[in-house]
Amino acid sequence: MKVPTNLLRDAVRYYTEFLEPNYGSDESKQLVFALTEHFFGFDRLKLAFQPGHRLSESEMLTLHFAVKELKSGKPLQYITGVAHFSGHRFFVNTSVLIPRPETEELVNLAADFCRRMEHSSNVLDVGTGSGCIAISIKKLCPQARVQGCDISSEALSVARQNALSLDADVDFFVCDIQSYDSGYQPCTFDLLVSNPPYVLYADKIDMKSNVLEWEPHLALFAPDEDPVFYYRKLASMALNCLVPTGRLMVEIHERMGETVSNLFTESGFSGVSVYHDINGKERFIVATKQ
Ligand code: GLN
């Protein structure tokens, strides 16, 4: 055995060193403590108070295999099955994207809009994945009727589990926006929100391997020959499904602000505005159906 004492503090030291070539010393330590907290309820502080804490053989094995997964590049959230977003704990697996902190701002834009409405709003999240956007909106605006849809039934089963465990009354259904045609639920929604696939295959070279090798490409990549493919589909869906003065709110690639704004304006939306994310990058577009 690599840690003959079974002392948690020795295991933390050993596995931190083991991960160091991959993640550097600070991140390695954080990752190891994230695992010990998740599996055994021991964070840095608790260990400081109980320096003599020993792990059982089976706990040692759990930690060992989890660290090996980290070493192979698997993201922490897929190992623990937990991702924090908008103040909630979401279950995630490799069928869904790990929620990104900047997307919380899209939730806030959506929730502000729902709160300003006089009647309870009707909201649809297209390409919902883990359901993090739809569920977080529902938590912030309990009066709203919120639904989420996705092409992936595996993703929908994750979203449904999250709705259940977070006690959010959100309905999820299958939808394929690629083959969307305009006959569907006309003028029903006050708000369509979406974080569609927008990464270009051409940008693959700049991406970290833990994203590229583990996260679902279906949720990440837009076709290179038509980078705004999903935005065009969302625009036509929104023109059909939204009530007049309803809003379309989307997350975008930081370099797509102008292109997607023009697309929405040319499609007939008014008041098209670009919003920045927490890092000051163009990240969201809000458009109003006339
Ligand atoms: N923001 C995500 C990333 O940078 C991509 C999300 C998406 O394609 N919608 O990986």
Q: Does 78 fall in a domain?
A: no
Q: What mean pLDDT is predicted for residues 230-234?
A: 96
Judgement on whether residues 64 and 122 belong to the same structural domain of the protein = no
Has residue 40 got a pLDDT over 80? yes
Give the C-alpha separation, 258 to 264, whole Å: 10
Q: What mean pLDDT is predicted for residues 193-214?
A: 93
236, amino acid identity: S
Torsion sign (Cα): 44, 50, 54, 55 = negative
**At 230, is the pLDDT very low, low, confident or very high (cuts 50, 70, 90)?**
very high
CATH number at residue 126: 3.40.50.150
Q: Does 88 fall in a domain?
A: no
Q: Does 271 fall in a domain?
A: yes
Judgement on whether residues 217 and 102 belong to the same structural domain of the protein = yes
Q: What mean pLDDT is predicted for residues 223-228?
A: 93
> In Å, what is the CA distance from 189 to each residue of 193, 238, 243?
10, 8, 6
Has residue 184 got a pLDDT over 80? no
pLDDT on residue 187? 82
Whole-number mean pLDDT of the chain? 95
Q: Is 98 in the pocket of ligand 1 (CB under 6 A)?
A: no
State the angle between helix axes of 103-116 and 132-140 in degrees (0 to 180), rounded to the nearest 10.
Answer: 40
Q: Is 36 in the pocket of ligand 1 (CB under 6 A)?
A: no
Percent of the chain at pLDDT > 70 equals: 98
Judgement on whether residues 151 and 52 belong to the same structural domain of the protein = no
Has residue 182 got a pLDDT over 60? no
Judgement on whether residues 12 and 105 belong to the same structural domain of the protein = no
The domain boundary residue, chosen from 72, 104, 122: 72
Token pair in block for residue 272: 């098209």
Judgement on whether residues 62 and 124 belong to the same structural domain of the protein = no
- Whose alpha carbon is nearest atom 4 of ligand 1? 199
Has residue 35 got a pLDDT over 90? yes
**At 186, is the pLDDT very low, low, confident or very high (cuts 50, 70, 90)?**
confident
Closest ligand 1 atom, residue 215 Cα = 10
Q: Is 211 in the pocket of ligand 1 (CB under 6 A)?
A: yes
Judgement on whether residues 276 and 231 belong to the same structural domain of the protein = yes
Q: What mean pLDDT is predicted for residues 202-229?
A: 93
Token pair in block for residue 227: 């980078």
Q: Does 3 fall in a domain?
A: no
**At 10, is the pLDDT very low, low, confident or very high (cuts 50, 70, 90)?**
very high
- Whose alpha carbon is nearest atom 5 of ligand 1? 220
Helix (H) or strand (E) holding 276: strand 269-276
**Confidence (pTM):** 0.95
- Whose alpha carbon is nearest atom 9 of ligand 1? 197
pLDDT on residue 177? 87
The domain boundary residue, chosen from 40, 72, 104: 72
Q: Which of 208, 212, 182 is nearest to 22 (CA)?
A: 208
Judgement on whether residues 45 and 150 belong to the same structural domain of the protein = no
Residue in this structure with the two tokens 């935005």, named with its chain if needed: 231
DSSP state of 252: -
Judgement on whether residues 140 and 218 belong to the same structural domain of the protein = yes
Q: Is 194 in the pocket of ligand 1 (CB under 6 A)?
A: no
Q: What mean pLDDT is predicted for residues 135-146?
A: 97
Say how many Å lie between the CA of residue 196 and the centre of ligand 1: 8
pLDDT on residue 181? 64
Q: Does 82 fall in a domain?
A: no
Q: What mean pLDDT is predicted for residues 172-192?
A: 82
Model confidence over 102-115: pLDDT tens digits?
Answer: 999 999 999 999 99
Q: Does 260 fall in a domain?
A: yes
Domain hosting residue 47, numbered range: 8-72
Give the C-alpha separation, 158 to 154, whole Å: 7
Q: Does 80 fall in a domain?
A: no
Judgement on whether residues 198 and 61 belong to the same structural domain of the protein = no
Q: Does 196 fall in a domain?
A: yes
Judgement on whether residues 190 and 237 belong to the same structural domain of the protein = yes
Token pair in block for residue 201: 């295959």
Mutate which of 103, 193, 220 for ligand 1 pocket (most atoms within 8 A of beta carbon):
220
Judgement on whether residues 107 and 224 belong to the same structural domain of the protein = yes
Q: What mean pLDDT is predicted for residues 191-215?
A: 94
**At 153, is the pLDDT very low, low, confident or very high (cuts 50, 70, 90)?**
very high
Give the total number of structural domains in the chain: 2
pLDDT higher for 118 or 148? 148
pLDDT higher for 186 or 146? 146
Q: What mean pLDDT is predicted for residues 167-193?
A: 86
Give the C-alpha separation, 125 to 264, whole Å: 18
Model confidence over 64-86: pLDDT tens digits?
Answer: 999 999 999 999 999 999 999 99
Judgement on whether residues 114 and 182 belong to the same structural domain of the protein = yes
Model confidence over 119-133: pLDDT tens digits?
Answer: 899 999 999 999 999
Task: Count each helix (H run) and each strand (E run) in the chain, helices first.
Answer: 12, 11
Closest ligand 1 atom, residue 219 Cα = 8
